A and B are shown apart, each in its own frame.
Chain A
Amino acid sequence: MSHHIIDFADVHFRYPDGTEALRGIRFRITHGESVGIVGANGAGKSTLLQHLNGCLLPTQGTVTIGDLALTARTRREIHKKVGIVFQNPDDQLFMPTVFDDVAFGPLNLGLDEARVRERVDTALAMVNGLSLRDKPPHHLSAGQKSAVAIASVMAMEPDILAMDEPAATLDPRSRRLLISLLKGFTHSKIIASHDLDLILDVCRRCIVIGEGRVVADGPSEEILTKRELLEANNLELPLSLQKR
């Protein structure tokens, strides 16, 4: 199943204002892996995730998704495979109602009306958001927006799922729901978060990013117990591992 592989080879990225956000990222994720990405504020996590589907293109190095190298030309193909939930749900929910927003992806895939409706309902049910269907996004709370943003990506049934800080605004119950949703998603998934307990719970593997470089890469249980490493990157031991 080569088509679910993600490969970053010496990826650099510079923002137009000159900020060097990524400085030689290198890793490979194979099918079915669940990977957590952690790091301090401004370490480059969001920038990295935006490379997964070509929202940003590397200024140097290559990103390969499946057997396609990411370029402006292959972007559209790759969009069908990779679903990304961005950090700010307001940017993701651009349609005037929740229904229209969740239906946007499936409609673009060319599905017929009945299948679109079915997918919208399934996706909304996954995040416990069926009752929000006809609301406009600006009437939702921050957590509800995140939930719908997740649904709008799940409705595309992506092969690879990437999420940027998905649980930050969720209440404990919705967070639980998200965790079980993520555990049920058997394809590759990448989650950038400061919520180390969530990472520990959902991801087998963990990559620590610092100043645009990979600082550490290994099994979550190992990485997330290294106190010095974590503290050097503005992080702390997951609560579940802290002794009281």
Chain B
Amino acid sequence: MHMADALLSPAVGTTLWAGSVAVGGYASKKLGSRLDDRLIPLMGVLGAFIFASQMINFTIPGTGSSGHLGGGMILAILLGSHAAFLVMASVLIVQALFFADGGLLALGCNVWNLGFYPCFLVYPLIYKPWVGDGKNPGRILVASVVSVVAALQLGAFSVVLETLASGKSELPFNAFVLLMQPIHLAIGIVEGVVTAGVIAYVHGARPELIESMTASRPLGPRVSFRKIMITFGICVIVTGGFLSWFASTHPDGLEWSIEKVTGKGELPEAEEGIAAVLKGIQQKTAFLPDYNFRPPESEPKTKEVSSDWPGIDSGTSTAGIVGGVIVLAMVGFIGAGIRFFRRGGPAR
């Protein structure tokens, strides 16, 4: 469920980056002040562990498809909110770089969706109160499943919001939610069971371990969120404002080309096939009927540039296609040329 760069707008991407950086900075500060030295290698190695364990898969009973261990919840249980959030962020950084899962701009979203919710919301508010002293395996099982499901539902819902706020997908809100939440409910139950199983195994094999890890870490939830939230708010306003300006300097290409082609700015909506079905779903399930998640489209503006260019003024699309072919050819040539010279040039 990694968010991808291509579905994001810069405003949404940087806003969530700002949020994640703020939480990360806060978590490091909190940890740094009462850090047990041995936590640094432990955090790093556990990050590598999450990574390695995600490469092991298992067969989900009855389906034949395969699943793997999620990261955030198990880390929170083992390391506490602050350290777990930082480790999860690191795991996601490495995934973004080495596996290209998500992307670097979407990293902010992914850290938020997969790190913030399990570590700072679900763990202190659901898991910990539920499990209590952590001696009852039945409670651990139920709490793990509920927590992982809750964290994944929050994460999946955030993916929906982030995608829609970015305005790159045409999916209506309700259909998108219906697409995402049930899948993640299923994933969550499986992951929750696995998480509980691992916790229980470790508990059985080395009971002192979980207790000592729990004892040696700073306690999480009793801290004021005000500072982060204020920082976060400021970041949102600044980046949001700046980036909407940045984006609005360029009118929506579609509006403009529609105008060129049809002479008016709007097109009749086609309602057939799946589109109609999805639209129907939206109307039937509309609890947010008029909510428009997409940012307001900027006014189409005619381009003065076009008159400066020589040649026939025959509509942008043709020029675009011709230009596109030439640009790609040029890029290809440059690449081939460099390859050629590098091969022929002095040995590396």
Residues of A within 8 A of B (CB): 16-17, 94
Asked if B41 contacts A16 (CB within 8 A), the reply is no
What are 4 A-to-B residue pairs whose CB atoms are below 8 Å? A16-B206, A16-B208, A17-B206, A94-B41
Closest to B209 in A: A16
A17 to B206, CA, bound (A): 8
| Distance in Å: Cβ of A179 to nearest Cβ of chain B | 32
CB proximity of B341 to chain A, nearest CB, Å: 27
Q: How far is the CB of A108 from chain B (nearest CB, A)?
A: 13
Kindly provide the distance from the CB of B334 to the nearest chain A CB, expressed in whole angstroms.
Answer: 31
Within 8 A of A (CB), among B195-215: 206, 208
Which residues of the other chain, B, contact A94 by a CB distance below 8 angstroms? 41
Residues from chain A with a CB closer than 8 A to the CB of B208 are 16
Q: Which 4 A-B pairs have the closest CB atoms?
A: A16-B208, A94-B41, A17-B206, A16-B206
Would you give the shortest CB distance from B204 to chain A, in whole angstroms? 12
- Determine the main DSSP class of B at the interface with A: helix
Q: What is the CA–CA distance of A17 and B208 in the complex, to the nearest angstrom?
A: 9
Q: Who on chain B is nearest to A16 by CB? A: B208
Measured CB to CB, the nearest residue on chain B to A17 is B206
CA distance A16 to B206 in the complex (A): 9
Docked CA distance A69–B41 (Å): 28
Contacts of A16 in B (CB 8 A): 206, 208
Q: Which residues of A contact B41 (CB under 8 A)?
A: 94
Q: Nearest B residue to A94 by beta-carbon distance?
A: B41
**Least Cβ distance of B52 to chain A in Å?**
13
Expressed in whole angstroms, the minimum distance between the Cβ of B53 and any Cβ of chain A is 18
CB distance from A15 to the nearest CB of B (A): 11
> Complex Cα distance A160/B188, Å?
54
Q: Which residue of A lies closest to B212 (CB)?
A: A16
Least CB distance from B61 to A in Å reads 32
From residue B41, how far is it (CB to closest CB) to chain A in Å?
7
Q: Nearest chain B CB to A136's CB is how many angstroms away? A: 14
A178 to chain B, nearest CB (A): 28
Residues of B with C-beta under 8 A to A17: 206
B206 partner residues in chain A, CB cutoff 8 A: 16-17
**CB-nearest residue of chain A to B205:** A17
A83 vs B206: C-alpha distance in the bound complex, in angstroms?
31
A94–B208 alpha-carbon span in the complex (Å): 26
A94-B206 Cα distance, complex, nearest whole Å: 25
Residues from 202 to 260 in B contacting A, C-beta threshold 8 Å = 206, 208
A155 to B41 alpha-carbon distance, docked (Å):
22
A77 CB, min distance to chain B CBs, angstroms: 17
Q: Which of B120-165 contact A (CB under 8 A)?
A: none
CA distance A199 to B306 in the complex (A): 85
For the complex, what is the distance from the CA of A94 to the CA of B42, rounded to whole Å? 12
The complex places the Cα of A114 from the Cα of B36 at a distance, in Å, of 32
How far does the alpha carbon of A94 sit from the alpha carbon of B41 in the complex, in Å? 9
Return A14 CB to nearest CB of chain B, in Å: 13
CA of A16 to CA of B41 in the docked complex: distance in angstroms?
21
In the complex, what's the smallest C-beta–C-beta distance from A107 to chain B, in angstroms? Answer: 16
CA distance A236 to B185 in the complex (A): 61
Distance between Cα atoms of A38 and B251 in the complex (Å): 78
**A158 nearest CB across to chain B (Å):** 21
B45–chain A nearest beta-carbon distance, Å: 9
A94 and B44 CA atoms in complex are apart in Å by 11
- The distance in angstroms between the C-alpha atoms of A17 and B209, with both chains bound, is 11
- B276 CB to nearest chain A CB (Å): 55
Q: Complex formed: what's the CA distance from A62 to B130 in Å?
A: 45
User: A8 vs B2: C-alpha distance in the bound complex, in angstroms?
Assistant: 56
Closest chain A CB from B205 CB (angstroms) = 9
* Cα distance A16–B207 in the bound complex, in angstroms: 10
Closest to B41 in A: A94
Q: Shortest CB–CB separation between residue B247 and chain A, in angstroms?
A: 39
Query: What's the minimum C-beta distance from B211 to chain A, rounded to whole angstroms?
Result: 11
Assembly CA distance A16 to B205 (angstroms):
11
Minimum C-beta distance from B47 to chain A (A): 14
How far apart sit A235 and B105, CA to CA, in the bound complex (Å)? 60
Expressed in whole angstroms, the Cα–Cα distance for A110 and B208 within the complex equals 37
**A35 to B: closest C-beta gap in Å:** 30
Inter-chain CA distance A160–B41, complex, in Å, is 26
The chain A residue with its CB closest to the CB of B208 is: A16
A20–B206 CA distance with the chains assembled, in angstroms: 17
B142 to chain A, nearest CB (A): 29
1/0 contact string of B30-47 vs chain A (CB within 8 Å): 000000000001000000
Provide the B171-212 mask, 1 if CB < 8 A to any CB of A, else 0. Answer: 000000000000000000000000000000000001010000
Minimum CB–CB distance for B164 against chain A, Å: 40
| Minimum C-beta distance from B97 to chain A (A) | 14
Q: How far is the CA of A17 from the CA of B207 in the complex (A)?
A: 10
Q: How far is the CA of A84 from the CA of B206 in the complex (A)?
A: 28
Within the complex, the shortest CB–CB distance from A66 to chain B, in Å, comes to 24
Closest to B44 in A: A94
Bound complex: CA of A66 vs CA of B208, how far in Å? Answer: 34
Distance from B256 Cβ to chain A, minimum over Cβ atoms (Å): 50
CA distance A196 to B208 in the complex (A): 39
